[in-house]
Amino acid sequence: MELFHSRLRDRGLKSTSPRDDIARVFFELGRHVSAEELYAEVKKINPHVGYATIYRTLKLLKECELLTERHFDEDQARYEVAGGHHHDHFICEQCGKIVEFEDDAIERMQQDVARKLGVVLTRHKLELYGQCAECRRR
């Protein structure tokens, strides 16, 4: 929250109770979340927060480089805490579960492809889609 407050000050903005509630819940959830899911969680602690405030705060967190907006194989945006380590994603097509993973072999393979193509990778994203273990058991 300290970094959020610092970035707000840098932009000449003030910390408000609704912004703080939204940011705190977002950071505490620690998972990929839609605006609707975040709204439902924030309403539990601040019933006066509206959708517009959720969306404005998500936009602000993105501008402050504190969250990353993701669009998986769906129209709905999902948000995750920015920074940290690089990771890829598995998305269950049945239940929507999102699993972050790292695989050194995949990373090496991407570098090998780049080398063969004579290019330098600056970034990438890998999304794998399928059915998670829980859904397969059902």
pLDDT digits (tens, 9 = 90+) for 43-80: 999 999 999 999 999 999 999 999 999 888 767 899 99
Q: What distances in angstroms separate CA 35 from CA 40, 70, 79, 130, 136, one per listed residue?
A: 9, 12, 8, 24, 28
- Provide the 8-state DSSP code for 105: H
3-class SS of residue 129:
strand
Please classify residue 124 by burial: count the beta carbons closer than 10 Å to its beta carbon, then call 0-12 exposed, 13-18 middle and 19+ buried.
exposed
Residues 76 and 12 both lie in one domain: yes
Task: Say how far apart CA 51 and CA 36 lie, in whole Å.
Answer: 8
| 8 A C-beta contact, residue 83 and residue 59 | no
Write down the number of H helices and E strands in the chain. Answer: 6, 5
Q: What residue has token string 């072999």?
A: 105
Domain count within the chain: 2
Residues 37 and 102 grouped into a single domain: no
For residues 95 and 76, membership in a common domain is answered with no
Q: Does one domain contain both 41 and 64?
A: yes
What is the per-residue pLDDT across 86-96, written as a single tens digit (0 to 9) for each? Answer: 889 999 999 98
Residues β-bridged to residue 91: 98, 129
Q: What is the domain extent for residue 131?
A: 88-137
Residues 6 and 59 in one domain: yes
Q: Answer whether residue 133 shows pLDDT above 90.
A: yes
**Do residue 6 and residue 45 come from a single domain?**
yes
Residue 16: per-residue pLDDT: 92
49 and 12 in a single domain? The answer is yes
Same domain? For 98 and 61 the reply is no
**Is pLDDT of 103 > 90?**
yes
| Pair 94, 30 in one domain | no
- Provide the pLDDT for residue 30: 85
- CATH assignment of the domain containing 70: 1.10.10.10
